[in-house]
Structure 1
Amino acid sequence: MNYRHAYHAGNFADVVKHIILTRVLMYFKRKDAPFFVMDTHAGVGRYDLKGVEAQKTREAETGIARLMKALPNAPKEVRELCEPFTTLLNDMNEDKLQHYPGSPMVAQSLIRRTDRLSLVELHPEDFDELTVNFNWAKNTKTHHLDAWQAMKAQLPPNEKRGLILVDPPFEDRDEFNAILRALYDAQKRFSKGTYMLWYPIKDLQMIASFSRVLSGMDLGRTLDVRVMIDRPGSQAKFIGTGMVIVNPPYVLEKELKVLLPWLVKLFEVVPGSGSHSIYELVGEQK
């Protein structure tokens, strides 16, 4: 599948991914020590939901638009866990929902002046727009690099703590293998880092193979988090969103157990067709 950000901005997968990202970053901010954040496939950083690309798919209508409409009536705990994300949405929009933050904007909204954000983008036009969008932020640098080369060059960071978000476009079938190779190499240099590896749920056989390899790797505690909006059918289609999290914050699983059931009911295609799971691929390493 082609998952170039502009065409899918604000869809259900974006919303789930970005809420999880805010929860991880909120945990990082609990300590005063500075931390490093890398977004390996940054895109342009922010999106116009009324633009040509977003209007072509109109996926935001069943994603972020649905969330913002339903959230006022959500349980209090759900609203509180979504607050860092929805505060950014409200700051970006006035009366109508038109602008949506990519993961770079989500990260920039939560890091402090002492923290550092590295945004990597290979597509030349997207890189130029990304740079314009973030040239005001002294603690943010943009890099016109291949994602996997950037991980080799920038890890380990000078900071002792770090979050690496890997969010490829999945334009070819080798993307899962590329993620595995990059993670294997990065772990040798920065084993204490937290890694968030996003993937679309479409080819279940390929995902099963991906999970098997991950479970056999020498990693820290690793969670595989999935939100399914429909049941698998005879034809492969985009039916869910997944996130592998290496070295997750200890509070994250508890927070996800509150968030995911509500998000599944919100985004499922028909009532009862959705599901969620939090599976421990790798336990604590001694």
Structure 2
Amino acid sequence: MFSYRHAFHAGNHADVLKHTMVIAMMRHLTQKDAALVAVDTHAGAGLYRLDGDYAGTSGESADGVVKLFAALKPTKPSDVAIKDVAPILQDYLDTIAGFNTGVQLKIYPGSPFIIQRLLREEARDKLKLFELHPTDIKALAGNIAQLKAGRQVAVAREDGFEGLKGFIPPPSRRAFVLIDPSYEIKSDYAKVSTCIQDSLKRFATGTYAVWYPIIPRPEAHDLPRRLKTLATQAGKPWLHATLNIGQAEERNVPGEPERGQGLTASGMFVVNPPHTLKAALALALPQLVQVLGRGRGQGQTLESGG
């Protein structure tokens, strides 16, 4: 149950998609004066070293944030791959750069640290983090403690699906919820659907963002369809974005360990998305494919309803 470690996948293409959208949604939601309550149901460790044992072993950031920075924030401005970078992509790049010093990326912030950086003290925004992995919860608690954020951020070793119920609806009637379990257990897909269904009954106007992997498993293909049905039944707008970097050519380099294709595609499904998100993604997604795409099957989709 506790075998999944996000540290192996930190900064990969799925993180790029997820965190680009998280930042864009948080920017919009923090424009209103009323306090915002943000909840991350599966927080992980919060901060990751891209040159550490985990991320360094998998090398997934090389096809994600590292590749994106090399193309869009090169050391020589003349080497930039795209001149007019989509605003939400530029915001993502600047946010990640803010956690690093110099030009080399060594630290990758997970969702907890990205969200916390966008919270407003004056509005008394709050962040609730849930994590069950025994190692990650210790790392998360230690990392958050260094922020000295006080009551702004709370960490709990608890099942996020269950823990979320105690925080919606929030007193301010404004909430952003990120749901991104590992999906290593098949039941996670059903739990996500149940969580969204229950959350919409408890607090129909919250913004709910679900990340999921696009893999050859029936549950993975059924999930966005179920979420569309739930949002439609509740009479709420929804947005669905996917990014597929495609299959890489086989490269067997003598003396180097062989690496599998790994995850090539993922999606984000948002209930009650900011009205500005679709147009922003329409500019950003093609640029992500242009930079991160690596072969057969690459592409992106963007649809909305409600």
> Which structure has the larger Rg over C-alpha atoms?
2
Match of 2:17 in 1: 16
> Among the aligned pairs, what percent are the same residue?
32
Give me the whole-angstrom Cα distance separating, in 1, the residues matched to 2:175 and 2:188: 23
Match of 2:144 in 1: 134
Give me the whole-angstrom Cα distance separating, in 2, the residues matched to 1:57 and 1:188: 40
Match for 1:230 among 230, 243, 246?
Answer: 246
Deviation, 1:215, is 2.6
TM-score, normalization by structure 2: 0.85
The DSSP-based 3-state class of the residue aligned with 1:119 is strand
Check the 8 A contact 2:243/2:266 in 1, yes or no.
Answer: yes
Count of equivalent residues: 277
Pair 41,27 (structure 1): closer, same or farther in 2 beyond 3 Å: same
1:53 to 2:54 alignment: yes
Match of 1:118 in 2: 128
Pair 88,215 (structure 1): closer, same or farther in 2 beyond 3 Å: closer
Match of 2:223 in 1: 210
1:277 to 2:290 alignment: no
Give me the whole-angstrom Cα distance separating, in 2, the residues matched to 1:269 and 1:52: 25
Check the 8 A contact 2:241/2:269 in 1, yes or no.
Answer: yes
Check the 8 A contact 1:227/1:260 in 2, yes or no.
Answer: yes
Deviation, 1:221, is 0.7
The DSSP-based 3-state class of the residue aligned with 2:209 is strand
Give me the whole-angstrom Cα distance separating, in 1, the residues matched to 2:4 and 2:266: 12
The DSSP-based 3-state class of the residue aligned with 1:238 is coil
Give me the whole-angstrom Cα distance separating, in 1, the residues matched to 2:128 and 2:140: 12
Give me the whole-angstrom Cα distance separating, in 1, the residues matched to 2:16 and 2:40: 16
1:93 to 2:103 alignment: no
- Which structure 2 residue ranges, 5 or more long, are not aligned? 74-79, 248-259
Give me the whole-angstrom Cα distance separating, in 1, the residues matched to 2:4 and 2:14: 11
Deviation, 1:141, is 0.8
For residues 80-229 of structure 1, what are the structure 2 equivalents within 5 Å? 80-95=87-102, 96-113=104-121, 114-135=124-145, 136-138=148-150, 139-203=152-216, 205-217=218-230, 218-219=233-234, 220-229=236-245
Report Cα offsets for 1:59-92 as digits up to 9, x if no partner: 11111111111114223342x3233322232222
Check the 8 A contact 2:214/2:221 in 1, yes or no.
Answer: no
1:261 to 2:286 alignment: yes
Whichever residue aligns with residue 92 of structure 1, its letter is F
Give me the whole-angstrom Cα distance separating, in 1, the residues matched to 2:299 and 2:212: 16
Match of 1:243 in 2: 268
Cα RMSD after superposing both structures: 2.0
Whichever residue aligns with residue 48 of structure 1, its letter is R
Pair 275,3 (structure 1): closer, same or farther in 2 beyond 3 Å: farther
- Which structure 1 residue ranges, 5 or more long, are not aligned? none
The DSSP-based 3-state class of the residue aligned with 2:288 is helix
Q: Where does structure 1 differ by over 3 angstroms across 4 or more consecutive aligned residues?
A: none
The DSSP-based 3-state class of the residue aligned with 2:290 is helix
The DSSP-based 3-state class of the residue aligned with 1:76 is coil
